[in-house]
Amino acid sequence: MSEWINIALPKGRLGEKVYKRFAAAGFECPEVLDDTRKLIFENTEKKLRYFWVKPSDVAIYVERGAADVGVAGKDILLEYRPEIFELLDLDLGKCRMAVAAKKGFRDDPERTLRVATKFPHIAGEYYRKLGRDIDIIKLNGSIELAPILGLSDVIVDIVETGTTLLENDLEPIQTVVPISARLIANRSGFQFKYQEIQAIVNGLQQQLEETK
């Protein structure tokens, strides 16, 4: 690399998987996986600088140029709509955004549908396309509680295996959009570090094809 590349990784299990992909593609920085309180890790030889951030903040770091590239879930990109380039679907962290309700739920089209969610934009856009009148209830956690306690009719949330829903007598009724981790880049950084960012894209693309 002729220029330093700042890479924002999402903290947690997904981030570790993502880093392993980067390392296998030749963009390693072994310290990253050390159990330490450090936040920034550098490979001075390859001019790579990794840092861990909260998954929902990756897009902000990239959009604002603190990171040149990063990895964020499609759910975050759809919800916050950052102005970034979405360069690659990494095929990791796969799940789906779904509408779920209490088992046996029947939608009454004559009533406004009450939707509890952490993702008001995604939910709003989904129902706008369906032409369905809804009342969005923005929650920050324990979304599954809302239909059980009668706070909402349905929820729009991320569903991985569906176990949490099942345990709470809920079931997914519609898929809104499939979700996975995406490689994103800052639009200005992309202009000035094109060769370096494209090398990362090509390396990860090759990894992706090998794992398929």
The CB-of-189 to other proteins minimum distance in angstroms stands at: 7
The CB-of-28 to other proteins minimum distance in angstroms stands at: 25
Classify burial at 142, counting beta carbons within 10 Å of its beta carbon; exposed 0-12, middle 13-18, buried 19 or more. exposed
Q: Which is nearer to other proteins, 24 or 66 (CB)?
A: 66
The CB-of-78 to other proteins minimum distance in angstroms stands at: 11
The side-by-side arrangement of strands in the sheet containing 113-117 is: 134-138, 113-117, 154-159, 95-102, 170-179
Restricting to residues 12-71, which ones interact with other proteins according to CB under 8 A? 63-65
> For other proteins, which residue of 15, 93, 147, 189 counts as binding (CB under 8 A)?
189
> Under the criterion CB under 8 A, does residue 187 sit at the interface with other proteins?
yes
Q: Which is nearer to other proteins, 18 or 29 (CB)?
A: 18
Q: Residues in the chain, how many?
A: 212
Q: Which is nearer to other proteins, 118 or 182 (CB)?
A: 182
> Under the criterion CB under 8 A, does residue 134 sit at the interface with other proteins?
no
Q: Which is nearer to other proteins, 111 or 194 (CB)?
A: 194
The CB-of-13 to other proteins minimum distance in angstroms stands at: 23
Distance CA 50, CA 34 (A): 13
# chain residues binding other proteins, by CB under 8 A: 18
Tell me whether strands 154-159 and 84-89 are parallel, antiparallel or unpaired.
Answer: unpaired
The CB-of-197 to other proteins minimum distance in angstroms stands at: 11
For residue 87, count other CB atoms closer than 10 A to its CB. 18
Which residue stretches of the chain are H helix?
A: 13-24, 58-63, 74-80, 120-130, 145-148, 163-167, 187-192, 194-211
Tell me whether strands 170-179 and 95-102 are parallel, antiparallel or unpaired.
Answer: antiparallel
> Under the criterion CB under 8 A, does residue 89 sit at the interface with other proteins?
yes
> Under the criterion CB under 8 A, does residue 88 sit at the interface with other proteins?
yes
- Ordered DSSP codes for 151-182: S-SEEEEEESSSHHHHHTTEEEEEEEEEE-EE
What residue ranges bind other proteins (CB under 8 A)? 63-65, 81, 83-89, 186-189, 191-192, 194
